């Protein structure tokens, strides 16, 4: 079961939102969605996300898509990214699903990665939708932190749906 760290980074490289969760597909812990990053990884996650920003900015010109796919990896953590039209970045870090038992399912690992990619794409698209709706709020200014509990709740629902 993989854990995820999702963060939204504004145009001035300022953090807007972050969320840690784990896959809801096979809840192993008592609290569904509780992330299983180790304490050491946990404190590294914001750095991993932010260090991939240069790669995001490089790769956003190479593809016509908003979804940039997997752009970085660091110590077993993979990083997927998405840029919005307003150049706000969505970064999703997750522990490599194949790192633990890559020997056991060498063949099927390709398939599972593909499946992850498409569900992450859907997750990003829905998160983008929610972000745009938050942006339409007249009380929200661009690059303000997203503190609305409603937004948080909806992102969690989307996470539960796809990841």
Partner 1 sequence: MGYNIGMRLIEEFLAKTGAQRCESFRETADMISKVGFKMFLNTVPQIENFSSDGTSFSLILTENPLAEFVELPLTQYPKIHKELWYSQLYCGVLRGALQMVQLDTDVYFVRDSIRGDDKTEIRLKLNKVLKDEIPAGED
Interface residues with partner 1 (CB under 8 A) are: 133-134, 136-140, 147-150
Give the shortest CB-150-to-partner 1 separation in angstroms.
Answer: 6
Give the shortest CB-157-to-partner 1 separation in angstroms.
Answer: 16
Give the shortest CB-37-to-partner 1 separation in angstroms.
Answer: 28
Residues 6+ apart with CB under 8 A from 141: none
User: Which CB atom, from 61 or from 139, has the smaller least distance to partner 1?
Assistant: 139
User: Which CB atom, from 53 or from 135, has the smaller least distance to partner 1?
Assistant: 135
User: Which CB atom, from 74 or from 140, has the smaller least distance to partner 1?
Assistant: 140
Give all strands (DSSP E) within the chain, no chain letters. Answer: 3-9, 15-22, 67-74, 77-83, 89-95
In degrees, rounded to 5, the angle at the alpha carbon of residue 49 between the alpha carbons of residues 22 and 3 is 10
Give strand pairing partners of 67.
Answer: 82
């Amino acid at each position: 079961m993989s854990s995820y760290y999702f963060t939204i980074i504004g145009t001035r490289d300022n953090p807007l939102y972050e969320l840690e969760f784990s896959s809801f597909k096979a809840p192993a812990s008592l609290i569904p969605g509780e992330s299983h990053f180790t304490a050491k990884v946990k404190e590294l996650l914001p750095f991993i996300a932010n260090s991939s920003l240069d790669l995001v900015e490089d790769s956003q010109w190479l593809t016509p898509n908003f979804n940039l796919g997997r752009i970085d990896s660091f110590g077993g953590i993979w990083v997927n990214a998405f840029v919005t039209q307003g150049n706000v970045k969505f970064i999703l870090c997750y522990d490599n699903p194949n790192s633990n038992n890559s020997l056991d399912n060498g063949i099927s690992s390709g398939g599972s990665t593909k499946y992850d990619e498409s569900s992450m794409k859907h997750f990003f698209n829905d998160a983008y939708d929610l972000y745009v709706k938050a942006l339409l709020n007249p009380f929200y200014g661009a690059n303000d932190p997203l503190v609305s509990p409603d937004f948080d709740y909806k992102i969690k629902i989307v996470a539960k749906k796809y990841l």
